[in-house]
Amino acid sequence: MATAGARIGALLSATSLALTACATPVAGPSGLYATPIGTAPVTANPTPYTDALVCIAQYARQYNLRAPRISVGRISDLTGKEEADGSGRKITQGASLMAMTAFAKAGVPLVERFDTSVSELELKYANNKLITDGPTPGVDGPVDPRRIFSGQVAGSDFYITGGITELNYNIRSSGADALAGDRDADGAKGRFRARVFVMNIAMDIRLVNTRTLEVVDVISYQKQIVGREVGLGLFDFLNGNVFDVSAGTGALEPVQLAVRSLIERAVVEMSANLYGMPGPQSCMSVDPLGGGTTGPTGGFTPAYNNLGTNNATTRAEPDRWNDGRGAGDRAPLRGRY
């Protein structure tokens, strides 16, 4: 008995030492209490419709097409569903931002209307002659204030708005439980458990003519989400010792990624209409990742003529700019040198 107690004490001591090696109340030479775990690089965040969006942008570039300017309004969570513990909403509140990224992937010209606070403040400062675009004030002598011109802000032709309108739990589920073992009280016993459940999410969005407020396009889509769980357990008495071992795995399709997929599918249809694209068959004649300014991460306006080495395709490479993974510029991660 004493030997068993000594072994347990030694095991607890070793465990505590291992834990204290991971976290300590005294900062180390790097100035940190602990080194964060994880080495996964930043990657693109595509959906099954991302390639279609990029294809539309390449199609427009190939045929020199220009879509009307689009602004994105509020795409709100209208389901009213919240976490049971009060930690927040179950559905992302960033659907409008997802729509902006989707239109950028499709190469559609965007004008900002979602957050104009900085522009409005700078316009106020410029109107009071407090802002300059010239040399550094107070260092390079007198400077001219920024001038305000009539018509300097680009207007939108259409804007998109709408909401996430459905979140339905457990619209279908199935499962199985099995228990088997020896009839003897000391015999081995095992349990197997499996569950599958399905839920869905839906949204309704519309495209509105900014000048006339005419609704020119309305789309409603839903997507089902699947989750599964598998567990296995074993209970046994062996040589006077009790063994209770269990293992399991579970997975749930990301709910917020489903929202992004809904938005991207809707934006694919709206963008194809704006460009006058015949349909998916048009993508057979273009390279969907042709190294341009649109890609699975979004779209941008190049500041310099460097698209050969710094384009939308390279932005999606997980090893690019990554310390320890790529050959580009290196910067230490937090706590790593």
The tens digit of pLDDT for each residue in 45-65 reads: 999 999 999 999 989 988 899
- What is the pLDDT averaged over residues 235-264? 84
pLDDT bucket at 292, cuts 50 / 70 / 90:
confident
Of 269, 306, 289, 304, the residue nearest 108 (C-alpha): 269
- Whether residue 290 is predicted with pLDDT greater than 90 in this model: the reply is no
Closest CA relative to residue 47, chosen from 117, 121, 123, 99: 99
Question: Is the pLDDT at 21 greater than 80, yes or no?
Answer: no
DSSP string, 139-181: TSS--PBPP--TT-SPPPSEEEEEEEEEEEEEEEEEEEEEEEE
d(CA 45, CA 50): 9
Mean pLDDT of 227-234: 86
Q: Tokens for 73?
A: 């309004």
3-state class of 207 per DSSP? strand
Alpha helices in 173-327 (DSSP H): 255-275, 312-315
- So what's the pLDDT on residue 4? 54
Q: What percent of the chain has pLDDT over 70?
A: 83
Determine the 3-state secondary structure of 199 from DSSP: strand
pTM of the model: 0.81
Place of tokens 């802002």: 131
Nearest to 207 by CA among 120, 300, 276, 270: 270
